[in-house]
Amino acid sequence: MRSSQIEVMLSPVNEFAPSYLSLLRSGELTRRVEALEALLERCTVCPLDCGNNRLQDELARCYSGRLPIVSSYTAHFGEEPALTGTRGAGNIFFGNCNLRCVYCQNYQISQAHKEQIKNQITHERLAEMMLELQTRGCHNINFVSPTHFAPQMARAILLAAEKGLRLPIVYNTNSYDSVEVLKLLDGIVDVYLPDLKYAEDEAGFLYSKVRSYREVSRAAIAEMHRQTGEAVFDDAGLLKRGLVIRLLVLPNDLGGLRESLKWIHDELGARVMVSLMAQYYPTNVAGTNQRYTLLSRRISESEWMRAQAALEEFGMEEGWLQEYDGAAFYYRPDFNDAETPFRDVRDFVAPTS
């Protein structure tokens, strides 16, 4: 996993135009937005298929109705270097989530549920946030936990594009996504940044409270890979289009990391970019509920070394590693401070050499 190989493999581009601009000009973007919004009437926006009428603000699993919920938006320096660059990724943190991960570091906003209604905004306001982040110099618009708000996100992109948005769109997801929805996002999203949390359904049900995580996530990531093709970087090394699969190393190998890497290698290829993450720490209920004892500690250095060895075993050489020492302490956000929930981590995530 050498950064120099990325430079050889990928041809940089001097200028990049997000695909949603051509969809806007042709009228296709409007059609896609309307198709996505139609899914809200009997909600099938994610694979849970709750069937509630979100256009009438009927609430179900994600506690989210017609309008988007934004808990924070800010320039963020804790993503991969090709996304943060020198001026940060333009992160927009949606409230609530379709998963219930017992160790979620963003649990203050992802699992506050009804409390998050105070952060409900209009589509127009969401578009304004995107344009503001662009004005502040952010390199992209990075939607965090967008799955349950994919239609609202698309509507806001349409509105912002009409007013001059020109940044790549990053879809930063837990991978419990509908393939139907992802196909409607083809050309709207430029960079997919999915977590691949578990290799087995049992872990997905126990630790994130969803069924069939393995099948759903793999189908979703395969579709993301189909859409993005080979990654595109600019002259400054910023990722403009592509797929980066995040693998968070869990204690006691509860995620089945080697199995996930084998699937990536066998189904998507060894050149897919992987981001191996050491930042796990027992937060939310993972550190307090005895049911989750196996998640009640940070990963050990030997567990981290085994994860790196699995990368080498499958020849996965494109992407990034987090540094092991102290990694978790940078990722303890406090969303009571909506403007700056994270500490400055611009020197933390780095390409391997």
Residue with tokens 């401070």: 337
Q: Give pLDDT, residue 116.
A: 84
Q: Give pLDDT, residue 329.
A: 53
The closest alpha carbon to 256, from 306, 184, 187, 327, belongs to 306
Residue 1 above 50 pLDDT? Answer: no
Q: Give pLDDT, residue 342.
A: 62
Please state which of the four CATH numbers 3.40.50.150, 3.20.20.70, 3.40.190.10, 3.40.710.10 is assigned to the domain occupying 3-351: 3.20.20.70
**CA triplet 341, 98, 218: central angle to 5 degrees?**
105
- Alpha-carbon distance 35 to 130, whole Å? 22
Q: Give pLDDT, residue 339.
A: 66
Domain ranges of the chain: 3-351
**What's the one-letter identity of residue 324?**
Y
Half-sphere exposure of 41 toward its Cβ, with a 13 Å CA cutoff?
A: 5
Q: Give pLDDT, residue 348.
A: 39
Could you report the per-residue pLDDT of 256-315, keeping only the tens digit for each? 999 999 999 999 999 999 999 999 999 999 989 999 999 999 999 999 999 999 999 999
Could you report the per-residue pLDDT of 48-80, keeping only the tens digit for each? 999 999 999 999 999 999 999 999 999 999 899
Check if the beta carbon of residue 342 is closer than 8 Å to that of residue 76.
Answer: yes
